[in-house]
Each structure stands twice: as C-alpha cells, then as structure tokens.
Amino acid sequence: MIGELGVIRADMSASSSLALPHIAKLHAYTPGIQPTEAGWVKLNTNECPYPPSPRVAEALRRELADEGAALRLYPNPKSSGLRAAVAALHARDHAALTAANVCIGNGSDDILNLLIRAYVSNDAAAGFTLPSYSLYPVLVEIQNGRTNVIEFDRSLRLPVDRITASTARAFFLTSPNAPTGVAFANADLERVLASYRGLLVVDEAYAPFATENAIPLLARYPNLVVVRTLSKAHALAGIRVGYALARYDIIEVLDRVRDSYNVNRLSQVAAIAAVGDVAYYDGIIGRVKATRDAFITECRDHRGWFTYPSQSNFIFTEPKNARGESGPAVSLAAYQFLVANKILIRHFPSHALTAPFLRISVGTDAEMRVLSETLDAWLKVPAPAP
C-alpha cells in the first residue's frame, strides 16, 4: 500500500510539472480566514453584519418549489432579468442605463477576471495602484500578463498625472480604496478619464457606503467601466453575484469571453430580489455607516490612533501600544492579541504603507463593543521593551 501511494505521489508530481511555467510560479490569492467553529467575532472579510432582505429567502423558496424541479434546467445564460433589474437600480445615477450596459458575473471577481482576459496580455499591461485589491496581480499573473503599478504615498491622494501617463491597456482603481477605505472624488476621476487612453475600471465594491460614485460618469466617458458586487452592502457574499456597467461595445466584449452559464439560477433569483428592495438596504447601509463613524471617532479621539476617513464598510487604523508607539510590530502584536481572543481582523504586513495598520470590518454594535473592550485589554498589557 505504501508503495502504491508512493507511485501516486510521483505521478501527481509529474503531472503538476506539466503546468505552464507562469502558473507553476503563481502565488494564489489568500482570502481572509473563514472559521468553522462558533464563538468568533468575524471582522476580517468586509461582509455585511446584517441579513439580506427577507425578499431574498422568499424568492429562493419560490424557485425551490415542487422539490426544486427547476434546478434540472440551465439558468438564463445572460442573466437577462438581473441585467434589467440592475439597470433599473442605477437609473437614479444614470437615467439612460439599460440592460445592454450590464454584464453579470459570478461575483465581481468574475467580472475582473473577464476584463483581464479580454484586455490584458504581456503586450497590453494592466495598471493598478498599491496598496489595492490584492487579487488584481494574481489575475494578471494567471493571464501571463504584464503590470504597471503606481504606488500611493501616505496621503492617499489620487496620482492623476501618473495614471493618465500610464501606458496600461486597462487601469484598475478601487474606489473606495481597499484596504484604506479612502474614496476618490468624481472630479479627480474625470481628470483621469479626460486624458487616459486606456480602459479605466473603477472597482466600486464599497461605493454604496460612500458619498459619491462613478456611475453618472458613464454617460460622458466611453472608456469607463464600473464594477459592483452584491457581497458587501447587499449581504449576499454567499450567493456570488457582481456586475459591470459600461458602454454596450465593452459589455459585448465581456460576453464573448464569459462562461455561457456563469451565474446559477438561485443566485440570479436572489440577486433580483435583493436589488429590488432599495428601502431595506438603504436602512442597512445607514446602520453600517453610523457604526463605522462612531468607531472611527473612538479610534481617533479616545485612543489617539491615526485612522483614514473611511467611505467603506471597514476602518483602516494605525494602533498605538501602551507606550504610545506605532509601527508594524505594534500592529502585529494587536492583531495577534485579538486573534488569541477569537476576534478576526486583517493585517497586511507585506507593504510599508499598510504594515503599521489594521483593517477592521464594521460589525454590529455588539461586535464592535467586544472589539473595543478587547483592545482596551490589549492596551493594559505591558508593551515589550524596545
């Protein structure tokens, strides 16, 4: 038996060596920890702390009637009903938007993958800022493409001139930014769009929590793509639905490279129900923003921690220890203390700008109280001598 297992392992090793060279060197995207046991306060993956609209469960029950007989059929290949619902949702920001301006994906990550598949290669670079969503470089590496990276300084001001001068075929910009939560004004985005010759992809995963979004700019700039998700504000991370808004010709390109049935029946049904319940989600978003703003005030005023002005559903703060010190070692110590007390947040040690900070998803008021009490306990632990 041991010999047979040895042969199997040898065969597997030989098979993996057949992978393309750039895939063999690929470092996969690392998502936030997803605990499988109870008792954790989970503030690490920017999920909504509240349940989705009751209309979602109702719609799913209807779809699963008759012992789920509908599941034997393929889903609508273009998610046509959902495209129309998304266009209607955003009519208040862009009255001329129609279903022809919408592409639906298996989460916004699927949309990002389609954009890179269609527009990026070794001869046509993808641009993005750093720090930013860490999936971008992974998708580019999978495509065996080339990157054009523009680094932020601590001010987090949008480097308009550097982006407009970029030779990237497509430039990916998270607004509000991940992981800092800082949003970029439409006036600055317009300065980029007026001069940049490539495709500007504004990744608006967190825009429902912001004061402004880029959707109104679609009417004036043909090289703009806005990407959204239902995982954050709409509390449907487990459903996996995202979408792109753009001119018809860009949507048509994405449909060429999209899997024929990329969004399943249940996801389409749930998403249509969710985007139709605007009043419910306006209430949820308001609650998250109120909790977010209260915690930012606590970090700044009560603790004296530098904290970026967030327009997302998370906070990016620079902790200080009991001696008033900050830096990568301090943020790591705070992170480890929280994990030891079953509170999950995120720490990004691989970049000089992010290493001194912690990213904290906004939870319920009760969860944020537990976090605050645990941080108070951490501050009472004597800091190690320098």
Here the tokens at position 288 are: 């998250």
Q: Which of 232, 257, 272 is nearest to 99 (CA)?
A: 272
pLDDT of residue 9: 54
DSSP secondary structure of 140-166? HHHTT--EEEEE--TT----HHHHHT-
Q: Which of 187, 233, 190, 230 is nearest to 210 (CA)?
A: 233
> What's the pTM value of the predicted model, to 2 decimals?
0.93
Here the tokens at position 156 are: 């987090």
In tens digits, the chain (386 residues) has pLDDT values of 445 555 555 555 566 678 888 988 888 888 888 888 899 999 999 999 999 999 999 999 999 998 899 999 999 999 999 999 999 999 989 889 999 999 999 999 999 999 999 999 999 999 999 999 999 999 999 999 999 999 999 999 999 999 999 999 999 999 999 999 999 999 999 999 999 999 999 999 999 999 999 999 999 999 999 999 999 999 999 999 999 999 999 999 999 999 999 999 999 999 999 999 999 999 999 999 999 999 999 999 999 999 999 999 999 999 999 999 999 999 999 999 999 999 999 999 999 999 999 999 999 999 999 999 999 999 998 766 66
Q: How far apart are CA 68 and CA 294, in angstroms?
A: 45
pLDDT of residue 35: 87
Collect contacts of 374-381 with beta carbons under 8 A, ≥24 apart: 374/337, 374/338, 374/341, 374/343, 375/303, 375/319, 375/334, 375/338, 377/337, 377/341, 378/333, 378/334, 378/337, 378/338, 379/303, 379/321, 379/322, 380/322, 381/322, 381/337
Q: Which of 79, 45, 77, 90 is nearest to 226 (CA)?
A: 90
Amino acid found at 83? R
Q: Which of 206, 212, 136, 208 is nearest to 168 (CA)?
A: 136
Q: What are phi and psi of 240, to 5 degrees?
A: 65, 75
Unique residue bearing structure tokens 């995207």: 29
pLDDT of residue 54: 98
Number of C-beta neighbours around residue 342 at 10 A: 15
Q: Which of 142, 129, 146, 151 is nearest to 201 (CA)?
A: 129
Sequence-ordered strand ranges (E) for the chain? 41-42, 102-105, 126-130, 147-151, 170-174, 199-203, 224-229, 242-245, 306-307, 314-318, 343-344, 358-361
Residue 192 Cα to chain centre, angstroms: 22
Three-class secondary structure of residue 301 per DSSP? helix
Q: Which of 359, 228, 363, 230 is nearest to 290 (CA)?
A: 363
pLDDT of residue 385: 64
Q: How far apart are CA 102 and CA 247, in angstroms?
A: 8
pLDDT of residue 1: 42
Q: Which of 122, 111, 106 is nearest to 20 (CA)?
A: 122
Residue 266 neighbours by CB under 8 Å, 6+ apart? 60, 63, 64, 71, 239
Q: How far apart are CA 310 and CA 178, in angstroms?
A: 10
Alpha helices by DSSP H, 48-185: 54-63, 65-68, 80-89, 108-119, 135-142, 160-164
End-to-end CA distance of the chain: 55
Number of C-beta neighbours around residue 266 at 10 A: 17
